[in-house]
Amino acid sequence: MAKAKVTSKGQITLPKQIRETLNIKAGDEVLFAKSREGAVEMLVINKEASELFGQFKVKDNTSLETMDKAAEKHQKEKYAKSGRD
Interval 11-53: pLDDT, tens:
999 999 999 998 888 888 888 888 888 888 888 887 665 566 6
Residue 10's pLDDT band, with cuts at 50, 70 and 90, is very high
Helices then strands, counting H and E runs in the chain, come out as 2, 2
Length of the chain: 85
Whole-structure pTM value:
0.50
Q: How many CA atoms lie within 13 A of 40 on its CB side?
A: 4
Q: Which of the two residues, 6 and 41, has the higher pLDDT score?
A: 6
- Cα–Cα dist 67/28, whole Å: 15
Q: Which of the two residues, 84 and 21, has the higher pLDDT score?
A: 21
Q: Rounded mean pLDDT of 64-75?
A: 83
Q: Which of 45, 47, 49, 39 is nearest to 85 (CA)?
A: 39
SS3 label, residue 27: coil
